[in-house]
């Protein structure tokens, strides 16, 4: 298995932006002046085509996350957010690399004043603003920004050969898009320190044991399994799903008392929806509910 330095070296050799195949999808807002994405592929899958799938598509750069790719990703997520048919979104990469990290070539010559005033990486947080659940389907390397992108998602499924790591210290920096924060909350202080202070990579099996990923599957099955859980989520009331996601995310930023207060109020709010009434009525009548997302 190649080391992070090998992966980094391969990224550094890239001298131009990869113009990957363009996948047209009318239901998603475009961010490029041409009206087409260049660094991601966008699709809808599932029996009812109710799961959005976004594939990072810079294979020659090992899916290094530059500004253009992240802008396109944010645009595609926003587009799926407006698509009433879609209830969940899967984010995936290639068979061997989910994402090797942020684009080092883009950052290498910048100074402190440049990154401070431009807010380098700050726009990545738009991913976490998605109201619909995001599911990361990770095969191969998820290093640095790639690991951080996976952690921005709500659920992580991993292939059995996947590797996770925060190796930024090896090139003289630290994680800048949540690696020291979300990783610590996911795996605890000691393991986060080990990963961030040494750059060591962990296997999918270790990541599952530590609580970083939900499940591990054979590599060929990861995307299908992610779509399956996306279909399950999409079959449920979208308002309830969005509010449940909000309540869980609140737990990361609030005390238990504050979080319980928010949860209770969100629970109460759902009594104003038609789907709550239909769900309870269907339960009492012993029949499947007919949700209308209202």
Q: What is the CATH number of the domain that holds 165?
A: 3.90.226.10
On whether both 243 and 228 belong to a single domain, the answer is no
Residue 104 within a domain: yes
On whether both 245 and 130 belong to a single domain, the answer is no
Alpha-carbon gap, residue 135 to 232, rounded angstroms: 12
Q: What are the residue numbers of the active site?
A: 102, 145, 148, 168
On whether both 267 and 156 belong to a single domain, the answer is no
In 3D space, the residue among 48, 207, 54 whose CA is nearest the CA of residue 130 turns out to be 54
Of 197, 212, 234, which closes a domain? Answer: 234
The tally of domains found in the chain comes to 2
On whether both 191 and 248 belong to a single domain, the answer is no
Alpha-carbon gap, residue 5 to 25, rounded angstroms: 37
Of 234, 250, 272, which closes a domain? Answer: 234
Question: Considering the entire predicted model, what is its pTM?
Answer: 0.85
Sheet containing 141-143, strands listed edge to edge, beginning at the edge strand earlier in sequence? 97-99, 141-143, 163-165, 202-203
The number of C-alpha atoms within 13 Å of 59 and in the hemisphere containing its C-beta is 7
On whether both 193 and 278 belong to a single domain, the answer is no
Q: What is the pLDDT of residue 218?
A: 98
Q: What is the pLDDT of residue 94?
A: 95
* Cβ-based neighbours of 279, under 8 Å, separated by 6 or more: 237, 289, 291
On whether both 216 and 244 belong to a single domain, the answer is no
On whether both 180 and 255 belong to a single domain, the answer is no
Q: What is the pLDDT of residue 15?
A: 31
Residue 51 within a domain: yes
Of 194, 216, 234, which closes a domain? Answer: 234
pLDDT in tens, the chain (294 residues): 444 454 555 444 433 333 333 343 333 444 433 347 999 999 999 999 999 999 999 999 999 999 999 999 999 999 999 999 999 999 999 999 999 987 778 777 777 887 787 777 778 888 999 999 999 999 999 999 999 999 999 999 999 999 999 999 999 999 989 999 999 999 999 999 999 999 999 999 999 999 999 999 999 999 999 999 999 999 999 999 999 999 999 998 899 999 999 999 999 999 999 999 999 999 999 999 999 999
Residue 294 within a domain: no
On whether both 128 and 166 belong to a single domain, the answer is yes
Q: What is the pLDDT of residue 109?
A: 78
Q: What is the pLDDT of residue 4?
A: 47
On whether both 106 and 222 belong to a single domain, the answer is yes
Residue 114 within a domain: yes
DSSP state of 293: -
Whether 1 contacts 93, CB under 8 Å = no
Cα 20 to Cα 10, 27, 73, 129, 189: the distances in Å are 18, 20, 14, 27, 39
On whether both 243 and 275 belong to a single domain, the answer is yes
State the residue range of the domain holding 261.
238-284
């Amino acid at each position: 298995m190649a080391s992070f330095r090998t992966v980094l070296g391969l990224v550094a050799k890239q001298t131009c932006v990869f113009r990957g195949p363009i996948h047209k999808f009318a239901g998603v807002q475009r961010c490029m002046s041409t009206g087409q994405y260049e660094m991601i592929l966008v699709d809808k899958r599932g029996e009812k085509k109710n799961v959005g799938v976004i594939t990072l598509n810079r294979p020659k750069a090992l899916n290094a996350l530059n500004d253009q790719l992240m802008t396109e990703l944010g645009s595609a997520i926003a587009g799926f957010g407006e698509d009433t048919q879609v209830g969940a979104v899967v984010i995936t990469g290639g068979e061997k690399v989910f994402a090797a990290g942020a684009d080092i070539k883009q950052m290498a010559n910048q100074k402190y004043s440049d990154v401070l005033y431009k807010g380098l990486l700050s726009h990545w947080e738009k991913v976490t603003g998605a109201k619909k659940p995001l599911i990361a389907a990770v095969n191969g390397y998820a290093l640095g920004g790639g690991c951080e992108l996976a952690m921005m998602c709500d659920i992580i499924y991993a292939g059995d050969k996947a590797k996770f790591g925060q190796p930024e210290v090896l090139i003289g920096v630290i994680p800048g898009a949540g690696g020291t924060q979300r990783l610590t909350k996911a795996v605890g202080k000691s393991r986060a320190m080990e990963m961030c202070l040494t750059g060591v990579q962990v296997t999918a099996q270790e990541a599952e044991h530590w609580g970083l990923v939900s499940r591990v599957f054979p590599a060929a099955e990861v995307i299908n399994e992610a779509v399956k859980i996306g279909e399950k989520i999409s079959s449920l009331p979208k308002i309830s799903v969005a509010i449940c996601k909000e309540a869980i995310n609140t737990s990361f930023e609030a005390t238990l008392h504050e979080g319980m207060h928010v949860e209770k109020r969100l629970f109460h709010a759902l009594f104003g929806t038609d789907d709550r009434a239909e769900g309870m009525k269907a339960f009492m009548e012993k029949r499947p509910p007919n949700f209308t997302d209202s």
